[in-house]
């Protein structure tokens, strides 16, 4: 609303309660407001609704896409790691079946087998060992000194005895190096058994995980069911540390869920249990980082929406203002025409009344003048009265008063005749002095000094005498209203290249700069509530336009106002487009 106060349209203050506003056909402020409101609602509500729906659908689609990508990455990585482990497990199972118990217990044979495994599988195998039914390691090849180590009380030993084949968690063991074991049970002819055990380091797993394409600050790692990291993690700890994220519940297929890290950031976590192992493959991505490209796009969409809404509102505002302003101008022209008709009728009535009064007064004045002349003649004939200067003076005073009254009635008759449109050649000085004669009495009462500055070489101009008189009378009356007692009014007339320039200046209160461009608007008045209608200068401007002239106004508050009228030498210029210009 503060913005509206600053850019008020011309019709903003036209209300039924305003002076003269009841004659308008509509409440233009209300029409303007409702036009903008209804058009804005109809145009913007569907746009904003569709944008919000599209925004939500797109966001959900992106989130679903990220979930599918994460699930795909986890599934692919699970297959690779599962194949890695099953491949080595199958190799050990084949070795057990292809070699006799005695051959496996031979260190040289065992060392040859380890060399073949390393050569075939490209690393990963650390050592091989054969453990008897009593838990004693009867044969060992590798970088550690683990011969005759007793494993009968180790949990993994009991599990491989029960299951026949076993893949362990990552642990330190006697080696004090993170590793896991794959153990296969071999039955002996006497009904006993021995176990072939291979140790694998975690480096191959980390290399497999490192080759995964992860976005959103992604991190891939392996944990066990107790939440112990089986590989090093980029953000969640080192191998054998406790994972800070919750351990997911078992599910036979790949799952994706939302989680949060220690800093409270939302994560997209994909996981898959690797069948036949104690391992859980997990991929954690920062949802905020995943959505970052969408946020950039979202910002652009929001900016585009704001721009679109602003443009739509600007168009609605401009269109509504333009249409309502035109309605207001049309209504104003209607009112202006009515007031001009009223004004013309009023002035014509005044003219007819003035003519009637002048004719009625002229008859007794003629009789008074005739009788006074006769009395003077009689006094002149008789010597006894002719020498009486007092009597002769009284008669002369009567005759002078009659002549003065005759001049006044003559002016009234001239003024009345000029209400009929007529173009004639006239002298500006005569017109100016005729108009001043109508305000002389008020000027004398209020001690207003009127000074004329009319050049001697002013050529007669061709114009409408009556309209020119009305123009001068309206401007002078406005000047009298603006001045206090003892004011000064100056009227200057000077020839210019294409006609005559007439300047009327007063030393009244002046016009504020913010009102200067509105003084010729219909119904605009600074004297509202003091009898001002706001039509005087508007009618004056129309009359100036009708006689083909131009008018300019300059004013300063507290210093006064000057009206300058540029009159053409001939009414032939009437058809030109004359404008009113303002300068402060």
Q: Read off the pLDDT of residues 488-526 as tens digits, 9 standing for 90 and up.
A: 999 999 988 888 999 999 998 888 888 877 787 766 666
Greater pLDDT, 182 or 353: 182
Greater pLDDT, 420 or 471: 471
H helices present in 99-135, as ranges: 101-105, 107-121
| Mean pLDDT along residues 477-486 | 87
pLDDT per residue as tens digits for the range 517-576 = 778 776 666 664 454 555 677 778 888 888 888 999 998 888 899 999 998 888 654 444
Nearest Cα to Cα of residue 202 among 243, 226, 172 = 172
Joined tokens for residue 500: 């005559």
Instruction: Report residue 357's pLDDT band, with 50, 70 and 90 as the boundaries.
Output: low
**Rounded CA separation 262/466 (Å):** 94
Angle at CA of residue 178, ends 176 and 183, nearest 5°: 100
Q: Is 582 a residue whose pLDDT tops 50?
A: no
Q: pLDDT at position 200, please? A: 92
Q: pLDDT at position 355, please? A: 61
Render 311-324 in DSSP notation, one character per residue.
HHHHHHHHHHHHHH
Phi, psi of 437 (to 5 degrees): -60, -25
- The residues, ordered by sequence, that sit 6+ positions from 39 with a Cβ below 8 Å of its Cβ are 316, 319, 320
* Cα-Cα end-to-end distance for the chain: 29
Q: pLDDT at position 12, please? A: 67
Reported in sequence order, the residue ranges of 179-299 that DSSP labels E, i.e. its strands, are 179-187, 193-201, 219-224, 255-260, 266-273, 279-286
* Residue-averaged pLDDT of the chain: 81
203-210 and 28-98 helices, crossing angle to 10°: 150
197, 131 Cβ separation under 8 angstroms: yes
| Extents of the domains making up the chain | 206-292, 424-584
Nearest Cα to Cα of residue 284 among 365, 360, 204, 223 = 223
Q: Is 48 a residue whose pLDDT tops 50?
A: yes
Q: pLDDT at position 145, please? A: 86
Q: Is 449 a residue whose pLDDT tops 60?
A: yes
Q: Is 299 a residue whose pLDDT tops 80?
A: yes
- Give 166's strand partners: 183
Greater pLDDT, 164 or 523: 164
Two domains, one topology: 206-292 and 424-584: no
Greater pLDDT, 456 or 92: 92
**Rounded CA separation 362/403 (Å):** 10
Q: Is 229 a residue whose pLDDT tops 80?
A: yes
From 20-29, 97-106, 134-143, 261-270, the region with the lowest mean pLDDT: 20-29
* Range picked from 287-291, 355-359, 361-365 for highest mean pLDDT: 287-291
| Mean pLDDT along residues 305-317 | 90
| Mean pLDDT along residues 78-94 | 92
475, 504 Cβ separation under 8 angstroms: yes
28, 16 Cβ separation under 8 angstroms: no
Joined tokens for residue 73: 């990455």
| Mean pLDDT along residues 293-316 | 86
For 206-292, which CATH class?
Answer: alpha beta
283, 269 Cβ separation under 8 angstroms: yes
Instruction: Report residue 326's pLDDT band, with 50, 70 and 90 as the boundaries.
Output: confident
Greater pLDDT, 5 or 326: 326
| Positive or negative torsion for Cα 464, 468, 469, 474 | positive
Greater pLDDT, 315 or 347: 315
Q: Is 118 a residue whose pLDDT tops 60?
A: yes
230, 169 Cβ separation under 8 angstroms: yes
| Mean pLDDT along residues 575-581 | 40
- The residues, ordered by sequence, that sit 6+ positions from 244 with a Cβ below 8 Å of its Cβ are 236, 237, 261, 262
Instruction: Report residue 22's pLDDT band, with 50, 70 and 90 as the boundaries.
Output: very low
Q: pLDDT at position 2, please? A: 47
Instruction: Pick one of 3.40.50.460, 3.40.1190.20, 3.40.50.11740, 3.30.565.10 as the CATH number of 424-584.
Output: 3.30.565.10
Q: pLDDT at position 532, please? A: 52
180, 168 Cβ separation under 8 angstroms: yes
The full 3-state SS of 323-379, as one line of letters, equals HHHHHHHHHHHHHHHHHHHHHHHHHHHHHHHHHHHHHHHHHHHHHHHHHHHHHHHHH
Q: Is 74 a residue whose pLDDT tops 90?
A: yes
| Mean pLDDT along residues 375-381 | 70
Instruction: Report residue 247's pLDDT band, with 50, 70 and 90 as the boundaries.
Output: very high
pLDDT per residue as tens digits for the range 385-416 = 666 666 677 777 777 777 767 666 666 666 55
- The residues, ordered by sequence, that sit 6+ positions from 17 with a Cβ below 8 Å of its Cβ are none
Instruction: Report residue 18's pLDDT band, with 50, 70 and 90 as the boundaries.
Output: very low
428, 502 Cβ separation under 8 angstroms: yes
Neighbour order of strands in the sheet with 219-224? 219-224, 279-286, 266-273, 255-260
Nearest Cα to Cα of residue 271 among 258, 288, 286 = 258
Nearest Cα to Cα of residue 458 among 374, 377, 567 = 567
Joined tokens for residue 441: 């009495």
């Amino acid at each position: 609303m503060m913005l509206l106060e600053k850019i008020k349209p011309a019709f903003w203050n036209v209300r039924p309660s305003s002076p003269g506003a009841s004659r308008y056909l509509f409440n233009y402020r209300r029409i303007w407001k409702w036009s903008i409101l209804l058009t804005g609602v109809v145009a913007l509500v569907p746009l904003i609704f569709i944008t919000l729906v599209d925004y939500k659908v797109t966001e959900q689609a992106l989130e679903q896409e990220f979930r599918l990508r994460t699930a795909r990455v986890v599934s692919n990585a699970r297959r690779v790691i599962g194949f890695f482990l099953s491949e080595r497990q199958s190799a050990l199972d084949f070795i057990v079946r292809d070699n006799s118990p005695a051959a496996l217990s031979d260190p040289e044979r065992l060392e040859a087998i380890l060399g073949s495994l390393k050569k075939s599988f490209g690393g990963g195998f650390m050592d091989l060992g054969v453990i008897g039914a009593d838990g004693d390691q009867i044969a060992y090849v590798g970088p550690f000194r683990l011969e005759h180590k007793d494993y009968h009380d180790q949990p993994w030993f009991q599990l491989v005895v029960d299951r026949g084949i076993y893949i362990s968690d990552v642990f330190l063991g006697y080696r004090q190096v993170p590793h896991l074991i794959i153990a296969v049970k071999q039955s002996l002819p006497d009904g006993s058994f021995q176990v072939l055990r291979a140790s694998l380091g975690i480096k191959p797993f980390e290399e497999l995980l490192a080759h995964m394409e992860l976005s959103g600050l992604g991190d891939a790692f392996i944990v066990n069911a107790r939440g112990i990291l089986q590989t090093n993690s980029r953000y969640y700890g080192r191998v054998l540390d406790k994972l800070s994220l919750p351990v997911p519940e078992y599910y036979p297929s790949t799952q994706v869920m939302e989680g949060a890290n220690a800093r409270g950031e939302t994560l997209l976590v994909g996981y898959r249990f690797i069948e036949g192992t104690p391992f859980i493959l997990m991929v954690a991505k920062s949802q905020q980082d995943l959505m970052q490209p969408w946020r950039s796009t979202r910002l652009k969409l929001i900016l585009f929406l704001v721009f679109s809404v602003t443009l739509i509102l600007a168009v609605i505002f401009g269109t509504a203002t333009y249409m309502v302003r035109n309605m207001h101008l049309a209504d104003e022209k209607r009112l202006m025409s009515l007031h001009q008709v009223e004004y013309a009728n009023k002035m014509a009535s005044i003219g007819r009344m003035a003519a009637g009064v002048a004719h009625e007064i002229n008859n007794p004045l003629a009789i008074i003048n005739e009788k006074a002349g006769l009395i003077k003649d009689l006094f002149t004939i008789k010597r006894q009265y002719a020498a009486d200067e007092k009597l002769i003076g009284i008669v002369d005073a009567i005759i002078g008063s009659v002549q003065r009254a005759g001049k006044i009635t003559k002016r009234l008759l001239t003024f009345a005749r000029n209400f009929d449109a007529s173009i004639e050649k006239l002298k500006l000085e005569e017109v100016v002095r005729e108009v001043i004669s109508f305000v002389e009495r008020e000027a004398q009462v209020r001690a207003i000094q009127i000074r004329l500055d009319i050049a001697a070489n002013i050529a007669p101009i061709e114009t409408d005498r009556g309209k020119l008189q009305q123009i001068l009378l309206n401007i002078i009356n406005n000047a009298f209203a603006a001045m206090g007692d003892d004011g000064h009014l100056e009227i200057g007339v000077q020839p210019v290249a294409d006609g005559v320039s007439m300047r009327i200046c007063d030393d009244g209160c002046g016009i504020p700069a913010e009102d200067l461009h509105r003084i010729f608007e219909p119904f605009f008045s600074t004297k509202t509530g003091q009898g001002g209608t706001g039509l005087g200068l508007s009618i004056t401007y129309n009359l100036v336009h009708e006689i083909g002239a131009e008018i300019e106004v300059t004013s300063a508050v507290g210093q006064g106002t000057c009206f300058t009228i540029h009159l053409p030498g001939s009414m032939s210029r009437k058809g030109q487009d004359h404008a009113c210009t303002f300068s402060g």
